[in-house]
Amino acid sequence: MKKINSPQNKSLIKLGFLVKKPGMLSLIQDAGRFGTNNLGLTNGGPVDMPAFYWANRLLGNHLLTNKANSSVIEISLGGLVLIAQYDSQIAVTGAPFPLTINGQVKELWRSYSIKAGDIIAFGFANIGVRCYLAIKGGFDIPLSFGSTSTVCREHLGGLSGNKLQANEIVPYNEIKSDNNQLMLAEKDRPNYSNEAILRTVSSYQQHHFSSAQQDLFYSSKYNVSKHYDRMGYRLNGPTIKAGINGILSEGICHGAIQIPNDGQPIVLLNDRQTIGGYPKIGAVIALDTAKLGQLSRGAKVSFTKISIDEAQQLFHSHNELLSQTELIPCD
């Protein structure tokens, strides 16, 4: 593709990635939209937060002023094809999607220099659901209620409040190529599988579930149903019954496990509604909702109970591990 060099054209048109094929579901996401639940707006943000973090860190975005929350493209299921219009650097993390640059197979979890005209293409993964494409300095997307995160249900964020469309341009700033590329060592990368154990903090509504029902819930295995998306994952398995049919609608946290009238658990994720009226048996910690969000239909899920003190300790230990993990130069 011919690079546009005219200053006049540059002032009128923002350049970046031209979307040749939008894929199944490709969304602009930053860390999320916070402080807007009172307006009925949900958080959005990356389902797999660790992968989002590493995509940006591989490019040093966390060291740039106001770029610690740099926007990325969250690619669900695959099929995205982009044409670069500027030189820059990219990094791809997350589920093991096939990745090619100009037809050459590339490894994930490392950075690459790209030039104008390069074609970046994503195939379809055999395992996992989402991967993340970051650009040096982040994508140049205007904020909407303090965030670029796309929530399609609310027509908010991204380029137009929707998933990427063919022939749209995802703008970024031109950066000179840097041959000093970095990677995350294989031992430090997450493992993606078809099964997850989800650590869960009990809800204050747990007393609405008998001891027998709680034991059944935590000792059972569930399958991801066909109804899973960024709002939440509906699971199939043993029926769990609460002592009440419903509650007054109230705010819902990320990872909340609702038990609707049919007794099949629903784990709520980033694009969840802001309020709901089903009783909740607990909430999955954020480290494990990232694992859940990489599972597809038929994958196996089980739950294990932890205390809130244990959850906080896991959170701090994880952050400390991230800060101590060093990237290594690519060969």
Instruction: Give domain status of residue 260, yes or no.
Output: yes
With residue 58 as reference, give the H or E element that holds it. Answer: none
Phi, then psi, of 203 in degrees rounded to 5: -80, 160
Q: Residue 268: pLDDT band by 50, 70, 90 thresholds?
A: very high
Indicate if 14 and 162 belong to the same structural domain.
yes
State what percent of residues in the chain have pLDDT above 70.
94
**Reduced to 3 states, what is the DSSP secondary structure of residue 6?**
coil
Instruction: Give domain status of residue 64, yes or no.
Output: yes
- What residue type is 40 in one-letter code? G
Indicate if 176 and 246 belong to the same structural domain.
no
Q: Tell me how far apart the alpha carbons of residues 253 and 257 are, in angstroms, rounded to a whole number.
A: 9
Indicate if 165 and 270 belong to the same structural domain.
no
Q: Are strands 256-258 and 104-106 parallel, antiparallel or unpaired?
A: unpaired
CATH number, domain of 262, equals: 2.40.100.10
Q: What is the pLDDT of residue 238?
A: 97
Q: Residue 10: pLDDT band by 50, 70, 90 thresholds?
A: very low
Last residue of a domain, one of 134, 157, 182: 182
Q: What does the pLDDT look like over 78-108, one tens digit per residue?
A: 999 999 999 999 999 999 999 999 999 999 9
Indicate if 137 and 256 belong to the same structural domain.
no
- Cβ(49)–Cβ(318) below 8 Å: no
Instruction: Give domain status of residue 190, yes or no.
Output: no
Instruction: Supply the mean pLDDT for the chain.
Output: 92
Q: Tell me how far apart the alpha carbons of residues 199 and 228 are, in angstroms, rounded to a whole number.
A: 19
Q: Residue 6: pLDDT band by 50, 70, 90 thresholds?
A: very low
Q: Residue 68: pLDDT band by 50, 70, 90 thresholds?
A: low
Indicate if 205 and 301 belong to the same structural domain.
yes
Q: What angle do CA 84, 328, 103 make, to 5 degrees?
A: 30
Question: Tokens in use for 287?
Answer: 């480290």
Residue 3 pLDDT > 50: no
Residue 1 pLDDT > 50: no
Instruction: Give domain status of residue 331, yes or no.
Output: no
Indicate if 26 and 146 belong to the same structural domain.
yes
Count of residues in the chain: 331
Indicate if 163 and 201 belong to the same structural domain.
no
Residue 207: name the closest of 244, 156, 174 by CA. Answer: 244
Phi, then psi, of 95 in degrees rounded to 5: -60, 150
Instruction: Give domain status of residue 329, yes or no.
Output: no
Question: Tokens in use for 281?
Answer: 């048996």
**Reduced to 3 states, what is the DSSP secondary structure of residue 224?**
strand
Q: What is the pLDDT of residue 67?
A: 54
- Cβ(74)–Cβ(140) below 8 Å: no
Q: What is the pLDDT of residue 66?
A: 55
Phi, then psi, of 194 in degrees rounded to 5: -105, 25
Phi, then psi, of 123 in degrees rounded to 5: -85, -160
Question: Tokens in use for 46?
Answer: 């990356």
Phi, then psi, of 163 in degrees rounded to 5: -65, 160
- Cβ(178)–Cβ(113) below 8 Å: yes
Residue 306: name the closest of 224, 237, 218, 243 by CA. Answer: 218
Q: What is the pLDDT of residue 243?
A: 87
Q: Tell me how far apart the alpha carbons of residues 307 and 4 are, in angstroms, rounded to a whole number.
A: 57
Indicate if 209 and 174 belong to the same structural domain.
no
**Cα 110 to chain center, whole Å?**
18
Unique residue bearing structure tokens 């569930």 = 222
Q: Residue 2: pLDDT band by 50, 70, 90 thresholds?
A: very low
Q: What does the pLDDT look like over 233-267, one tens digit per residue?
A: 999 999 999 988 778 788 899 999 999 999 999 99
Indicate if 165 and 254 belong to the same structural domain.
no
Residue 13 pLDDT > 80: no
Instruction: Give domain status of residue 265, yes or no.
Output: yes
- Cβ(75)–Cβ(133) below 8 Å: yes
Average pLDDT over residues 1-5: 40
Q: What does the pLDDT look like over 33-49, one tens digit per residue?
A: 999 988 989 999 999 99
- What residue type is 114 in one-letter code? I
Total of domains in the chain: 2
Indicate if 115 and 215 belong to the same structural domain.
no
With residue 239 as reference, give the H or E element that holds it. Answer: none
Q: What is the dihedral of CA 26, 28, 34, 37, to 10 degrees?
A: -50
Indicate if 289 and 236 belong to the same structural domain.
yes
Question: Tokens in use for 277?
Answer: 């009226």
Q: What does the pLDDT look like over 158-206, one tens digit per residue?
A: 999 999 999 999 999 888 766 789 999 999 999 999 999 999 999 988 8
Last residue of a domain, one of 157, 182, 207: 182
Question: Residue 223's domain spans which residues?
Answer: 195-324
Instruction: Give domain status of residue 189, yes or no.
Output: no
Q: Residue 5: pLDDT band by 50, 70, 90 thresholds?
A: very low
Last residue of a domain, one of 148, 182, 216: 182
Q: What is the pLDDT of residue 173?
A: 87
Q: What angle do CA 255, 54, 302 make, to 5 degrees?
A: 30
Phi, then psi, of 206 in degrees rounded to 5: -60, -25
Indicate if 275 and 156 belong to the same structural domain.
no
Q: Residue 111: pLDDT band by 50, 70, 90 thresholds?
A: very high
With residue 275 as reference, give the H or E element that holds it. Answer: strand 275-276
